[in-house]
Structures are given as C-alpha cells and as structure tokens.
Homo-oligomer: A and B are copies of this chain.
Amino acid sequence: MVQGVVDLEQRSVNAIRALAMDTVQKANSGHPGMPMDAAPMAYTLWTRFLHYNPANPKWPDRDRFVLSAGHASVLLYSLLYLTGFDLSLDDLQQFRQWDSRTPGHPEVGKTPGVEVTTGPLGQGFAMGVGLAVAERFLADHFNREDLTIVDHHTYAIVSDGDMEEGISSEAASLAGTLKLGKLIYFYDDNNISIEGNTDIAFTEKVGPRFEAYGWHVQQVDGNDVPAIDAAIRGAIAAADQPSLIIVKTQIAYGSPHLQGSAEAHGNPLGVEEVKLTKEALGWPVEPLFYVPDDVLQSYREALPRGRDLATDWDRRFGEYERRYPDAAAEWKMVMAGELPAGWDDVIPSFTTADSAMATRAASGRVLNAIVAKLPTLMGGSADLAPSTSTNLKGYGDFGTEDWSGRNMHFGVREHGMGGAVNGIAMHGGVIPYSATFLTFSDYMRPSLRMAALMESPSTFIFTHDSIGLGEDGPTHQPIEHLASLRAMPGMTTMRPADANETAECWRLLIQRRRPVCLVLTRQNLPVIDKGDVIRAGVPRGAYILEEASGSGDPDVILIATGSEVTVALAARKLLEDQRTRTRVVSMPSWEVFAEQTQSYRDTVLPPAVRARVSIEAGAGFGWRQHVGDLGEIVAIDHFGASAPGPVVMREFGFTPENVARRASTCLARVRSASNA
C-alpha cells in the first residue's frame, strides 16, 4: 500500500480520536477513552464493510450496527457525521446538552443512524442477537432461490462491561445454539474498567468462553487496520457461526498521560491533555473539531456507496415485485408495521358454554388463531412454553433445521430473551413476543425498561400472575410485580379477567405497536357472560362490567383486575343481597384507562362515589389513586405461601365474603364522613 493511502487511513482514524476528545471536552462530560481506542476498528468497519445509506438511514437491507458500549456514543456520533448522515458538527458541539441530537448515550429516534438505544451494559449485545434473528427469519421468509431481498449482517462493538454482564452470556449462548453466522461482534479488549485494571475482577479467558458457546473467535491488534480488515473477512467467511473479534486496544490511545488509564474512561481528558494528545498523534491542536478535507471526502464516499447499494436493492426489489407480487406486498406491509385487513377476524370469542379456562390457555388459543393471519408473528418462552401456553402448534422451531420456524426456544434466559425480543422488534418486519412467569419479569426488567424507552413493539407475556399459582410458593408468587410494571413510564400492562378479555387484550396490543406486558393466570377462571360489554370495554382500559341495581350512582364500586374480577362479581351478589347497590368495574389496563378522556373516566368512576374497593391479588401499592382517601384496598402486602392455589387465595382474603365485608366497612366510613 502506498504511503499516501496509509497516511490517509491513519489520519482518518485520528480524525475520530480528535473529534471524540473535542466533543467530550466541550461538553465537559462523557467518555473519550474508548472512542479513541476503538477508532481503527470503527474506521475499518464503516469505510470498508458496513452496508448503509447515509441518505436513507432506514434503508431496509442495511447492515445493523450496535454500539453496545453506549457510553462511547461520541464514537458513533463522529462516524455518523463523517459518513454523511444528517448530523452536523454543530450537533456534536451540543453533545449532552438539553434537547440536542447527541445525548449522553445513543437514543433511537433522537439521532439518524442509531438503531437501538444503548448504555445499560449488555442490552446492545442481546439486541444484536435479536436483530440477527429477525434477519435470518425474514431472509428465509422472503428470499427466493433466484432473488434475495434480505441479506445483511449485524455488527456490534462491545466492551469489557458487556462481557461481564449476565445478559450477554445468555444471548451469546443462544446465538451459538442458533449458529447466527451473520452476527459479528468486536470486543474492545482495553483491559480497563472504572475501578482500574480489569484483572481485579475479570480474569476469565473470553476467547475460550466464546468458543465454548460455539462462536468463531479471532484476536487482533487494535491499531492494525490490515489485521482488522482480515479478521472481518474471516468472520464473514465463518458463515455458520457467530463471530467474536477480540481487539486488543489501549484506552485513550495516543494520550501521553492517560493512555491505558481508568481515568480516561469516563472523564474529559482536560484541555492540556487534549493538546498534548493531538501533538502526539501529529494532529493540529487547533481548530477544535477539525477534520481535514481529504479525510472528510474519503469518509463521505459512504454517500455514493450507500446510494449504489440502495439502487441495486431497489432494482432487485422491482424485479421481486414483478415476479412475486404477493410476497412483495407482504414485505411492504410488514416493514411498514401494518396489519393485514381482517387479521383479527380470527380472534376467537368465548361463551359460558366454554368450560372455565386459565387466561394463559385463552391466550394460547388466540395466539394460535392469529398466527395464521400474521405471517411474521413469532416468539417463544424462557423454557416455559407448555406452562405459558405459547407454543404455536404446527409452526416449527426456529433454528438451523428450520429458519421458517415461528417458535423460539430462548432457554432459561429471561434477560437474554427480553433483549433479543427488543432487537427483533427494532429490526422491523417481525412481531415478536416472549413469555415467562410474572415473578421472573424481574430477571428481564432492564430489557423491559429498554423496550419502554425505545417504544419498541415488544410483547412480553407473563403467566402465573399471583399467589393463585399455588404450590410453588413465595419464590414464584408475584406480589409487587404489577405495581412495579405500572410504575414504569412507557410500558402498558394488561391483566385480563377471563378468556374474552384476554382475546381483546391481544387485539389491542397487536394494534398498539408499543411495549406491552400481558399478565395471565395459571388457574382456571369462568368465562364471564358479558362478551359484548367486554369487547367494547377492554379498549378503554377500564369499564363497567356489571352495573349496580336501580338507577343513579351506585353505593359502592368494586374495582378489580384479572382473576379477582370473578371474586368481585360474586361479592357484588352478596352486597346486592344486602341491598348495597354495587357496581363492578373491570380494569385490565391502568395505562389504557389513563389515556381515556376525563369524562369517560368519570363515567366509570364517578367522583361522587367515594366508596370504592380495589381487589387485586398483588401489592396494594398505587391503588390509592383509584379508590381515594375513603376507599378500601384488598391486596396482599407480604409474601405468599406454598399451598394449593385456592387455599392460598382464601387464606389471604380473596373471597367474595371478605370483599363484601371490606366493602361494607368502606361504605360505613364514607357515610360517616358525609354525616360529619
């Protein structure tokens, strides 16, 4: 290679380093060290391998790039600016400022070219696995022998911290099992974390560990661009294994005093050290944010390259449309996140002629109906498919023997599952779901939060939703989980009361295209004889399921969710027998109810009716907002117990008799307050 090219290459690498230093220094906040050490691998990938189109960041067959080490956001922002995305030097100069397009960690929706939100370590690692699953699934579904429209890689840069997080282990093991050959990760092995040298906490051999997972593993020097280039070729060639390229780097490469030091991880280098580093790299100290013309020009070749890729794809897709018009129409539909007309006609409805049925079972019925109409609905559970009723019968297992399989076997890896489902959802084109027990929502909570933050259309099914599950006992009986999920911004929780509410929740959640937790029972529940009311009510979040006798406002309102709605209905009978005019409100979703107009909400819960009782077999935390100062909360604010479900429910007060008693207490309190 001639000297000029090597020089341009080196200066292109150093341009990233200089931008990273200046950007962090200007913000006086951020993480300069890793962008500086990872510049050569990023440069090599983004200028020689990565398929993308800066003019259309959403071009569907682009390679996906995930910066799992999200704290190195300035690396990504620098690349986006350099390669010609709609991100300017001004944007870089607003790094970490109010309302800027360059927030502290990459956030999807804020910055063109950011595929997923990252920062919490390991999430990007697992989402990358999901992105690769979606690619593999869609490739199998849409490609034809003579025409390929889905064929892209998923790349990520991951850090020591990613490697230490359990979610990454889970996702890596899953990726190895699935032999996801188009997944290529760079491990920035800079040996430094916040507390110092990684040896103090992390002496494992990462390469052999990943080989044990079934990955293809290579190791290169982080400043050796030709070696990085060769390793990427090697990783692409290893087409039936995910690839890990271990890149040996020195944090804050080039800094005379901070290279290789933990201090360079999360703090600006300081004005003086930035100056010294630029000098050491042979870079002009000023102006700040300087990028030589020839370097910028070289990076900007990404624009025509991207245009050519997109043009070539458009040509192929045009041909595809001619030869396979139905498939092409389906492609457009699923990539736009649209649903086929009449997709929900197949959703079953249930009558009292149906025997009592757990809502998990009803959910399984619905899933197995709609799968026929939703060609890219897929999902699975963390080794609980039979228990969560999530098996799609006759639709095969996704894996090396059948890439068209619609059933994912995530293994006992809730967190990896959550991350992977988010990745599948963020890829576009696929409607994914996961499933486990509600108590194990805790294991995947960071991924639930990522879904909420990204507003990804991820569906999380959680069964065994209360002490009603019985014998498995307190370790398996959720208590605080409903409150914890409802407290999370951006998440919608749904807890249906019977088979029909379950069906309507599915209709609603598929249409919402936002993250939803669907919370279901293990135990059987009768079908409530109110199909029409339920169908009209569920989309409002809460509704009057059974009105009080007589006219005018009721004496008391019982508000229940899920399995406790049946208890509320029975309690209502007892109360009405005592001439207490009792309304039952079913409230499958607090969040959906909160979205309704004040006037609708006041119809369901009239402000004048202060005698209100909530009934839910979970923590009472938060219910005060619905029952008010004088209301009564029938809940369980301690851990459960191991015994048959009906015994546990009875012992902890979830009986019609106890609810009726509590309602009478409440009513007396309200009357006494009114008379006072």
B-binding residues in A (CB < 8 A): 27, 29-30, 70, 96-100, 103-105, 107, 117-121, 160-161, 164-170, 173-174, 176-177, 193-195, 198, 200-209, 211-214, 266, 381, 383-387, 397, 399, 409-416, 439-440, 442-443, 445-446, 449-450, 452-453, 470-476, 479-480, 483-484, 486-490, 619, 621-622, 624-625, 628-629, 637-639, 641-644, 647-648, 651
Contact = CB atoms under 8 A, between A and B. Distances in A.
A487 B105 contact: no
A98 B489 contact: no
Contacts of A208: 208-209, 211-212
Contacts of A160: 412
Interface centre among A169, A177, A415, A619 (most CB of B within 10 A): A169
23 contacts: A27-B471, A29-B644, A96-B643, A98-B651, A99-B641, A105-B642, A107-B475, A119-B476, A164-B173, A166-B413, A169-B169, A173-B202, A176-B203, A177-B201, A194-B384, A194-B385, A194-B386, A453-B474, A453-B639, A479-B489, A480-B488, A483-B484, A484-B487
B195 A473 contact: no
B203 A476 contact: no
A32 to B, nearest CB: 13
A165 B164 contact: no
B383 A161 contact: yes
A442 B453 contact: no
A75 B577 CA distance: 51
Count of this chain's copies in the oligomeric assembly: 2
Given A195-B386, A200-B397, A642 B120 contact: no
Contacts of A629: 628-629
Contacts of A169: 166, 169-170
B473 A119 contact: yes
Contacts of A193: 383, 411-412
Nearest to A207: B212
Contacts of A164: 170, 173, 383, 411-413
A476 B194 contact: no
Contacts of A105: 472-473, 475-476, 642
Contact of A446 (B97, B442, B449): B442
B121 A412 contact: yes
A161 B412 contact: yes
Given A173-B204, A473-B119, A96 B194 contact: no
A422 B570 CA distance: 43
A416 B166 contact: yes
A109 to B, nearest CB: 11
A214 B203 contact: yes
B471 A29 contact: yes
Listed from nearest, the 7 A-B pairs whose CB atoms lie closest are A166-B166, A201-B411, A119-B475, A103-B642, A169-B169, A98-B643, A209-B212
B195 A409 contact: yes
B104 A642 contact: yes
Given A416-B166, A471-B29, A621 B177 contact: no
A638 B452 CA distance: 10
A96 B453 CA distance: 40
A256 B639 CA distance: 39
Contact of A214 (B204, B442, B622): B204
Nearest to A447: B442
A211 B204 CA distance: 9
Contacts of A450: 475
Contacts of A479: 488-489
A75 to B, nearest CB: 16
A619 to B, nearest CB: 5
Interface centre among A204, A483, A648 (most CB of B within 10 A): A204
Contacts of A205: 212, 214
A100 B471 CA distance: 11
Contacts of A644: 29, 96-98
A624 B384 CA distance: 37
A202 B212 CA distance: 11
A98 B410 contact: no
B386 A641 contact: no
Contacts of A104: 471-473, 475-476, 642
Nearest to A387: B194
Contact of A212 (B173, B206, B266, B643): B206
A50 to B, nearest CB: 24
Contacts of A165: 166, 170, 412-414, 443
Contact of A624 (B214, B387, B397, B625): B625
A23 to B, nearest CB: 12
A548 B105 CA distance: 43
Given A98-B648, A384-B194, A621 B487 contact: yes
A624 B107 CA distance: 32
Contacts of A453: 474-475, 639
Contacts of A387: 194, 266
A480 B483 CA distance: 10
Given A161-B412, A166-B413, A480 B471 contact: no
Nearest to A473: B104
A641 B166 contact: no
Given A29-B470, A194-B386, A648-B98, A639 B204 contact: no
A384 B476 CA distance: 31
Contact of A484 (B472, B484, B643): B484
A443 B446 contact: yes
